[in-house]
Amino acid sequence: MKKILIVEDEQKIRKVIKSYLQDEYNIFEAVNGKEALSLFKTKNFDLIILDLMLPEISGEEVCQTIRQVSEVPIIMLTAKSSEENKIEGFDYGADDYLTKPFSPRELLARTRAILRRSSNQNRASIISLNRGEFKIYPDEMTVKKEGQECDLTSTEFKILMTLINNAGQVLSREQLADQVMGLEFSGFDRTIDAHIKNIRKKMNLDKDQYIVTVYGAGYKFTGDI
């Protein structure tokens, strides 16, 4: 889960932001610039949401300090509404700006957009199995066997990708369910089995080809990628 640092002195605003982001992200909080900078040194955040108006060290300073050593995306929250101030403020190296009062939903949308952009830079490329017999296109969510589309559902595809991304490792049904359906999923073991069955059937795999059942433990992906 991606880690986001919220730097905001007003507790109320911090809380609202947190409530909107915590379902998708791992939230850390700092109430002033000093705390922010010391937290920043200890963790690798994926995004920083930074209030401009902070006690002691200002948001601008925090932003500039961080920029000297890191390219982490920064969204700045500014209370100054006059356009003049914003233009002056826009060169501290932030990636985006929101003027208070802002809509938390918009903040969420911008957060997603920025994180998408930064994760898009190393976009997953085509995965080829068995010298081209299978081709997997992560962006397109498709799998082809000898040019013919296998038509996996999104859950099936996610399970397959999880196995591939952890190739060689045995993943328990629980680990797979956590990854694919989310932690709150509390269904039966057989759910994963059913999906695995469908994947094997749709990709026409033998039971020991690529997706191997590890008796008493789970499944693992084997074979050259």
Partner DNA sequence: AGAATATTTGATTATTTTTTGAGGTGGCAG
Partner DNA sequence: CTGCCACCTCAAAAAATAATCAAATATTCT
Q: Which residues of the chain form contacts with a copy of itself (CB under 8 A)? A: 12-13, 16, 80, 83, 86-87, 89-91, 93-97, 100-106, 109-110, 112-113, 116-117, 137, 139-141, 153-155, 168-170, 174-175, 178, 183-186, 214-217, 220
Pick between residue 67 and residue 200 the one whose CB is nearest to DNA. 200
Q: Which of DNA, a copy of itself, none sits in contact with 147, Cβ below 5 to 8 A by type?
A: none
Which bin fits 82, alpha (ψ -120 to 50), beta or left (φ > 0)?
beta
The helix/strand/coil state of 5 is strand
Pick between residue 3 and residue 20 the one whose CB is nearest to DNA. 20
Question: What residues have CB less than 8 Å from 75, skipping those under 6 apart?
Answer: 47, 48, 49, 50, 94, 95, 96, 97, 98, 107, 110, 111, 114
The reply on whether position 87 binds DNA by CB under 7 A is yes
User: 153, 169, 204, 222: which one contacts DNA (CB under 7 A)?
Assistant: 153
User: 106, 112, 197, 222: which one contacts DNA (CB under 7 A)?
Assistant: 197
The helix/strand/coil state of 73 is coil
Pick between residue 56 and residue 189 the one whose CB is nearest to DNA. 189
- β-pairing verdict for 134-137 and 127-129: antiparallel
Q: What number of helices (H) and strands (E) belong to the chain?
A: 8, 12
Question: What residues have CB less than 8 Å from 125, skipping those under 6 apart?
Answer: 138
Which residues are at the interface with DNA (CB under 7 A)?
84, 87, 151, 153-156, 173, 181, 185, 187-191, 193-197, 200-201, 207, 213-218
